[in-house]
Amino acid sequence: MKNLFPHKNSAGRARTIGDNLLVKSPRQQARTNMTSNQQWTLKLGGLKLALITLLFITHAAQADSWYANTSASLTQGSYSGSVLRKQLSETGLIVGADYLEQGGVALGLSKTQISMKGSTSTNQNNLLLSGKLHYWLDAIPGKVTLRVDAHRITNNDTSGDTNNVSALAPQVSWLSNDAMLYADLGFAASRYQNQLTANQFTPTIGFALNNGSDWVQLRAYLISGLNPARAANRTSTQALDAKLTHFFASQSALVPSSVTLSVAGGDRLYAVDMDAQSVANLSDIHKSAASLAFAWNVTKASHLLVVLGQSRFQNVTLNNNYKLNVGYASFSTNW
Amino acid sequence: MKSTLTALFASLLLFATTANAQQDPWQLSYQFETAGKYADAVSALDAISANSADAELKSLRRGWLFYLQGNYNDAIREYRLASERNSRSIDARLGVTLPLLAQKRWREAEQNASAALELSPNNYTGLLRLAIALEGQRNWAAMEKAGMALVTSYPSDASAYVYLARAQAWLNNRTAAVTTYRAVLSRYPGHLEAIAYIEQK
């Protein structure tokens, strides 16, 4: 759950409900302009990049100053009221390495499958490459982190609308030395085929309550630059996420180390989740969401995260409002 | 007349001595530090050349004075400079742990404390800073080891027992933690943390 609890050392990552929900556009728009050779080159490039990064991380983890971590995740979702989709499943793996407290890199690969009504399914590969650097300020005592995430999504969407998606998401964040105050500003530039781009700003504040026992995080999603023909007649959307986390002091392995209640309201389209480090390449409007996340420290170095939640969507073209009930589990370990 | 001349001579001597003392950058720096004027204490060292024999000491002292001012990045830079000048300097390795711990850079602090302990095994300050860095990382097992090393080498020291007891408490070893906290009370009667833990049900 990257940066979900930025003042705590949380190795797992949670996906926001409704991330990476692939849909075939009802409008069969012009096919991609890319030739199959170009697509293959891109896939090969992504694979090469992934292998090089993995080798680097594996090598880095052998050195004393490097700290490696891995996180494996599984998502299962069921659609309710959707005229297009039935079920969602996703498996993912993120491998990362941090150099002391100075910075780090991470590589994530996940596979999404959505069973459509009519026995077809869409299959999607999500690639993430992330890098970060930490700086410490004396003037405003705290840690500043510069992070850049690069996303690449490929799938078998024949319309091409949700295929070959690229997103670049830089973020600057600040966490006070006493870990009681947090702020970040994220930006994401997403590029889709068939004349669609999305520019997203995500100003965020977080603060501790009750002497650090509770944590509140508020994040706005301000998305603009949309092509109305591809974005439910919208040129922009606004949404707000609110998360309340309570940390438990119990040392029992059965008691969660934290519980997080998340709620989201407002409309968002083609959002990039800066915590889950994922891209929602769905053309339907994400209307709202609520979830509960339970985190356990299984061992000193291993963490389990379970999220249960529901998201509501609207397909404007089909006038279809539907829900997604989802369960997510991830197991992460530091080594 | 004689007494007037004597008084004048004594005044001149005192003035000369004071003026001479004020020209010594080290003494000036220490005086400013004592007065809490840390920025002035740093400035007083400007007269010392970076190529002089005292350059290493200048870096160490600047590191300390920057730390006192809360200029942790400057302090880290100075201590690292001192380490570059003398790779076997335990002072530099231990010194840099202070600003690193202040910035909660636990891993880097651990690394430097460990480096100091390689040069000087069982060094008190090194073990103590290591224990603090491990506590920050919630690495209770390693912290317990550091605490054990502390109490073995420094059996009269209450702080050594406090860090050992904390690690044992976090490791859910209440019996051992109570015993260790009792040892704290033998060395520091009335220690609040020890009393609070022992009285806990």
pLDDT tens digits along A298-323 = 888 899 999 999 999 999 999 999 99
What pLDDT shows up at residue A332?
97
With H, G, I as helix, E, B as strand and everything else as coil, classify residue A115: strand
**Chain A residues 85-114 with a CB less than 8 Å from chain B:** 100-102
Contacts of A263 (CB under 8 A, 6+ apart): A241, A242, A288, A289, A290
* Ordered DSSP codes for A211-243: GGTEEEEEEEEEEE---GGGTTT-S-EEEEEEE
Q: How far is CA A186 from CA A98, A145, A298, B169, in A?
A: 21, 11, 32, 40
Decide if the complex's ipTM is over 0.85.
Answer: no
What pLDDT shows up at residue B156?
98
Residues of A in contact with B102 (CB under 8 A): 177
Nearest-CA distance from A252 to chain B in Å?
Answer: 9
What pLDDT shows up at residue A2?
33
Contacts of A166 (CB under 8 A, 6+ apart): A150, A151, A152, A153, A190, A191
For Cα atoms B53, B59, B63, give the angle at the middle one, nearest 5 degrees.
160
Mean of per-residue pLDDT scores for chain B: 91
Residue B31, chain A, CB below 8 Å: the answer is no
Which of the residue ranges A42-46, A242-246, B114-118 would you say has the lowest mean pLDDT?
A42-46
A58 has a pLDDT exceeding 90: no
Residues of B in contact with A100 (CB under 8 A): 105, 107-108, 111
**Chain A residues 129-158 with a CB less than 8 Å from chain B:** 136-138, 141, 143
**What is the pLDDT confidence band of residue A36, given thresholds at 50, 70 and 90?**
very low
A106 has a pLDDT exceeding 90: yes
CB B164 within 8 A of CB B176: no
Which of the residue ranges A56-70, A99-113, B29-43 would you say has the lowest mean pLDDT?
A56-70
Of A100, A138, A300, the CB nearest to B111: A100
What pLDDT shows up at residue A300?
80
In A23-120, beta strands by DSSP E:
66-80, 85-99, 103-116
Scanning the structure block, which residue is given the tokens 């008691």? Answer: A255
What pLDDT shows up at residue A34?
35
Scanning the structure block, which residue is given the tokens 């050392």? Answer: A9
**What is the pLDDT confidence band of residue B3, given thresholds at 50, 70 and 90?**
low
CB within 8 Å: A177 and B102: yes
List pLDDT tens digits, range B8-27.
444 544 444 454 445 699 99
Q: Considering only residues B2 and B72, tell me which one the structure prediction assigns the higher pLDDT.
A: B72
A59 has a pLDDT exceeding 90: no
Q: Considering only residues B95 and B14, tell me which one the structure prediction assigns the higher pLDDT.
A: B95
CB within 8 Å: A101 and B106: yes
CB A188 within 8 A of CB A272: yes
A101-122 average pLDDT score: 95
What pLDDT shows up at residue B120?
97
Whether the CA torsion B121, B124, B125, B131 is positive or negative: it is: positive
What pLDDT shows up at residue A17?
37
Residue A64, chain B, CB below 8 Å: the answer is yes
Using CB atoms within 10 Å of the CB of residue B21, give its burial: 0 to 12 exposed, 13 to 18 middle, 19+ buried: exposed
Mean of per-residue pLDDT scores for chain A: 85
A81-97 average pLDDT score: 97
Q: How far is CA B152 from CA B122, B186, B187, B188, in A?
A: 9, 16, 15, 17
Q: How far apart are the first and last CA of chain B?
A: 83
What pLDDT shows up at residue B22?
54
Scanning the structure block, which residue is given the tokens 């920050």? Answer: B136
Most A-contacting residue of B69, B77, B104 (CB-CB within 10 A), to test interface: B104
A96-105 average pLDDT score: 95
Residue B70, chain A, CB below 8 Å: the answer is yes
A283-290 average pLDDT score: 96
- Tell me the whole-structure pTM to 2 decimals: 0.81
List pLDDT tens digits, range A125-165.
999 999 999 999 998 889 999 999 999 999 999 999 999 99
List pLDDT tens digits, range B127-147.
999 999 999 999 999 999 999
Question: In 10 A of CB B180, how many CB atoms?
Answer: 26
List pLDDT tens digits, range A256-275.
999 999 999 999 999 999 99
List pLDDT tens digits, range A239-256.
999 999 999 987 777 899
A13 has a pLDDT exceeding 60: no
Residues of A in contact with B38 (CB under 8 A): none
CB A155 within 8 A of CB A124: yes
